[in-house]
Structure 1
Amino acid sequence: MEMLWPSPGVEMTDTELEALYGYPADRTWVTANFVSSVDGAVTVDGRSAGLGSPADKKIYLLGRDLADVVLVGAGTVLAEGYRGSRPDVARRERLGLAPELPIAVVTARGTVTPDLPLFTDTAVPPIVITTARAELPSLPAEVVVAGEDEVDLGVAVRELEARGLRRINLEGGPKLFGTMVAAGLVDELNLTVSPVLAVGDAGRIAHGPAGAPADLELRSVLRADDVLLLRYRRRNHS
């Protein structure tokens, strides 16, 4: 991967990518990871995999390897066929991180079932973040109640923090991301722009309640062939 900005022409090593995409060590931090087409589509044929590339996969896996937990909505778990994470244990141990990487799934209505690969094909039990009114089946997971009718995402983040899970890798979907942005809970966005015009009726990466736009500053731009990898941070948010 070649850096276009702020240091043009630099070929990035894995160690340099780890430093570039690393989390702050002194606070809880939410980094969102998304891929979109040039015309803003978040999926092709209903799945983000249709926009993928080797470069996007590399940064996607790096985002997981650097995190304490993956945060994802139940709709994305179902649409993308989520399984338990398989991080690079050697890398995580070298970086001083726990070898296990749990997945925390947000479901206000209790739409996950114990037969999903998320529960049957995993080395570490997931965390299910839900509401008091959700009617969940018995699940092989840690269940966290964060709200009565709707999931209070601020509470959800604090519950993860209380478990020592401070590096939060937000993988979607658009509704969860949009609601997190509206609540001021997203610190950083890693966005891969796929060189595709998807057209169609696919949604965009964020969908949720209207509010004041979140002002971002560009932190770095990488290129891998025709793919752009952009890293943004909330402005005035060091």
Structure 2
Amino acid sequence: MHETARNDAERATDAGLALRPLAAADAPVRLADAYAYPPDGPWLRANMIASVDGAAARDGRAGGLGNETDRRLLSLLRGLCDVLIVGAGTVRVEGYGPVRPRPGEWEELRGDRPPVPPLAIVSRSLDLDLDAPVFTDAHPRARTIVLTTRTAPPDRVRAAAERADVIVAGEDGVDFAAAVAELTARGHRRLLCEGGPQVLAQVVAAGLLDELCLTVSPMLVSGGAVRLLDGPALPVPPRLRLAAAYQDDEDFLFLRYVRKR
């Protein structure tokens, strides 16, 4: 590695994250500062990964595309947020449990907030395993939240309310604008969405996405893997502005886009 690039990588190390700016002239960064939320919220950020050829999953899982740097960045972004929004399908496929910090990494990030952010699981049908650790082992100050609809089966709503905080937003489908407004009213102003692609497509269609943190995995996957957004075509595609770009020593790219206002 060129000596200047090596020095940049060393200075950009943050909790084990060795990233360097793509341009050698870029100033070194502290990643917790680079990815800090704006002081005035709410602000909804998504964190996603895709292969070079646009696949959002490998062998059915987004985790199959990542590496240790991506996992550490994911941990940092979780530590910065107030609430983590994710679809029920992604919870099942990726094997989500309660959010756990990496030891020694989050104390400074969390301040006087609960030590972990709660999960907010999107589920229209409430076809959830309510005995799973994601509900039963959630931190007492970060009880799992369920975002559902008025047409959800009443018996499932009652059962979910015993294990989670239930937010009803929307009639037949989750109204994400109403759900985000309710989460914000509860003090969750720094929001992080980890998808999956169907949930993210609905968030974007509702005009709610402020920022996309995109990891580009140096793989060519091919096949029928889903894209980052899995939904109807948008009549007017939102435009994004590249706010930052980093890379690691395994040729992964870490891009941060913000919505053009």
Give the TM-score taking structure 2 as reference length: 0.84
- Structure 2 distance, partners of 1:204, 1:73, is 15
SS of the residue corresponding to residue 253 of structure 2 reads strand
Which one of the candidate residues 224, 246, 250 is aligned to 1:222?
Answer: 246
Contact 2:79 2:116 survives alignment (8 Å): no
Instruction: Label 1:52 to 1:192 Cα distance change in 2 as closer, same or farther (>3 A).
Output: same
Match of 1:155 in 2: 178
Partner of 1:52: 66
Q: For residue 90 of structure 1, report the CA deviation from its aligned partner.
A: 5.5
Q: Percent identity?
A: 46
> Is the 1:182–1:210 contact (alpha carbons within 8 Å) kept by the matching residues of 2?
no
Structure 2 equivalent of residue 61 of structure 1: 75
Residues 180, 97 of structure 1: CA spacing in aligned structure 2 closer, same or farther, 3 A cutoff?
A: farther
In the alignment, what sits opposite 1:3?
21
Aligned partners of 1:81, 1:89: CA distance in 2, in Å?
21
Q: How far did residue 92 of structure 1 move?
A: 4.3
Q: 1:53 to 1:8 in 2, by over 3 A?
A: farther
**Corresponding letter in the other structure for 1:105:** I
After superposition, the Cα gap between the structure-2 partners of 1:37 and 1:115, relative to the gap in structure 1 and judged at 3 Å, is same
Partner of 2:93: 79
1:126 is matched with 144
Query: For each residue in 1:26-82, what CA deviation from the matched residue of structure 2 results, as whole angstroms up to 9, or x when unmatched?
Result: 110000000111001111111011101111112111110000000001110111111
Looking at structure 2, the residues matched to 131 and 48 of structure 1 have their Cα atoms a distance apart, in angstroms, of: 27
Cα offsets for 1:1-43 (capped at 9, x unmatched): 11114x646554xxx1011111011110000000111001111
Return the structure number with greater strand share: 1
| Unaligned segments of structure 2, at least 5 residues | 1-18
Q: How many angstroms apart in 2 are the aligned matches of 1:221 and 1:116?
A: 37
Specify the structure having the higher radius of gyration (Cα).
2
Residue deviations 1:186-224 (CA, integer Å, cap 9, x gap): 000000000100111110111113221110000111010
**Alignment partners' CA distance in 1, 2:254 and 2:112:** 25
Cα shift readout 1:85-123 (whole Å, capped 9, x = no counterpart): 013586544243512310000111112121223113322
Structure 1: gaps spanning 5 or more residues: none
Residue 72 of structure 1: SS of its match in structure 2?
strand
Divergent runs of 4+, >3 A: 7-12, 88-93
Match of 2:256 in 1: 231
Q: Secondary structure at the match of 1:169?
A: strand
3-state SS, counterpart of residue 160 of structure 1: helix
The alignment yields a C-alpha RMSD, in angstroms, of 1.7
In 2, distance between residues paired with 1:69 and 1:194? 26
The alignment partner of 2:22 has SS state of strand
Partner of 1:32: 46
Secondary structure of the structure 1 residue equivalent to 2:70: helix
Q: Does 1:114 align with 2:137?
A: no
Aligned partner letter, 1:69: V
Structure 1 counterpart of 2:56, which letter?
V
CA distance in 2, matches of 1:183, 1:209: 12
Q: How many residues align?
A: 232
Relative to structure 1, the CA distance from residue 53 to residue 89 in structure 2 (aligned partners, 3 Å threshold; closer, same or farther) is: closer
Q: Which amino acid aligns with 1:210?
A: A
Q: Which moved more, 1:25-34 or 1:83-92?
A: 83-92
CA distance in 2, matches of 1:25, 1:179: 26
Amino acid at match of 1:112: L
